[in-house]
A = this chain, B = another copy of it.
Amino acid sequence: MGAPPGYRPSAWVHLLHQLPRADFQLRPVPSGFAPQEQEYQQALLLVAALAGLGLGLSLIFIAVYLIRFCCCRPPEPPGSKTPSPGGGCVTWSCIVALLAGCIGIGIGFYGNSETSDGVSQLSSALLHANHTLSAIDHLVLETVERLGEAVRTELTTLEEVLEPRTELVAAARGARRQAEAAAQQLQGLAFWQGVPLSPLQVAEDVSFVEEYRWLAYVLLLLLELLVCLFTLLGLAKQSKWLVIVMTVMSLLVLVLSWGSMGLEAATAVGLSDFCSNPDPYVLNLTQEETGLSSDILSYYFLCNQAVSNPFQQRLTLSQRALANIHSQLLGLEREAVPQFPSAQKPLLSLEETLNVTEGNFHQLVALLHCRGLHKDYGAALRGLCEDALEGLLFLLLFSLLSAGALATALCSLPRAWALFPPRNPSVLCSGSRLSEPLLPAG
């Protein structure tokens, strides 16, 4: 009965992980996650650079297309009665591109919220782990203090009361030794005490970064939505200045889209490498950051039959010490109370302390068991490697769609704009053409 089924890398992780990676000299780089190695960093930068290449190519294509359109086929004179044969096609392709951009924006909003969900799952798992770890420390401290208090007050009183009979004093001393031994064993269980790494701090940092990432994407999505809508409005109203402004804005958003695509692709590739086998990396990193022994960390991070509980020995010893105190107190109650009635009060108080300590001990055993913390680890991994990665892929799709849509729009907008009739206030204001886009102008 090990841990319940935990995290398993998804098909996307496998797919991305199998893509070839290369450094700046185009030598193949192994796809294990190693962000501290220069070669691996170069491989990720190269993935991001591919987006830069895409941006460059699409800019060159747009420039060549527009130059060819301007120089080789001068537009019809504005007063011409027959529209150029490709004119309607240009407007339609522009509209279709902008609608594809809008669909991309919808996908982008979905991906952004999915990524945000995944990251918030990660930080809530970290918060939960922090709660468990601080509960362990708190419980150990409380129990040890309670035992120490009992040793200092009740057991001392008991020894004083029982002084006339040496064998009873010896039994009380035995109980004292056992209580001290139990306290010492318990003290060793507070393994996270003094560890410099705080999951709470990590969760706060992650949430902080995620907040700004989320906001940046929402702004980018809204910017692109506004550009799409205002471009459509400009086309509908045949407003040259609006279309020109929106062409410039489209260029800006095109650059931003390719930039975000580079970031997303590099992050997705890095994340897939991490997610294909996260345990060794997380284990090493946590060991470096916390200085905890590897058997404790593998117990929590792996939590399977192969790894034994590193606290088993201590738990068994404290449990035995507590049981011994109980049987000694039972013996004292039987032997001493008839002769020394004043021993009854400290004995009862000691038994109550023992009961509470045993309750705390069971809670401690439950908290220390790997199940709880390993479940948090699994939830954090699922948040990062399933939801966040999936959201990232949706964002990648959004960037791709919007880059394509904006490139098409940038190619068609100047041509559509060249087809507008000369500025004529009556056209702008009448709206008579606007009102019948699809009906035959009789």
- List A347-371 residues whose CB lies under 8 Å from chain B: 355, 358-359, 362-363, 365-369, 371
Q: Is the CB of B437 within 8 A of A438?
A: yes
- A127 — which chain B residues lie within 8 A by C-beta? 4
Interface pairs (9), CB distance under 8 Å: A1-B139, A88-B435, A236-B438, A238-B440, A316-B355, A319-B323, A367-B371, A416-B439, A433-B440
- A131 — which chain B residues lie within 8 A by C-beta? 4-5
CA–CA, A79 and B111, complex, Å = 52
CA–CA, A433 and B420, complex, Å = 17
Q: Taking the complex as formed, is A37 at the interface, i.e. its CB lies under 8 A from any CB of chain B?
A: no
CA–CA, A408 and B208, complex, Å = 45
Contact of A88 among B322, B362, B372, B436 (CB under 8 A): B436
Contact with B along A223-244 (1 / 0, CB 8 A): 0000000000001101000000
Q: Taking the complex as formed, is A280 at the interface, i.e. its CB lies under 8 A from any CB of chain B?
A: no
List of 3 A-B pairs having minimum Cβ-Cβ separation, nearest first: A323-B323, A366-B369, A88-B435
Contact of A439 among B324, B419, B432 (CB under 8 A): B419
- List A162-183 residues whose CB lies under 8 Å from chain B: none
Indicate how many identical chains form the complex.
2
Interchain nearest-CB distance for A325 vs B (Å): 10
Residue of B nearest to A88 (CB): B435
Residue of B nearest to A117 (CB): B117
Q: Is the CB of A1 within 8 A of B363?
A: yes
Contact with B along A319-355 (1 / 0, CB 8 A): 1101110110000000000000000000000000001
Q: Is the CB of A359 within 8 A of B438?
A: no
Q: Is the CB of A326 within 8 A of B315?
A: no
- A38 — which chain B residues lie within 8 A by C-beta? none
Residue of B nearest to A92 (CB): B435
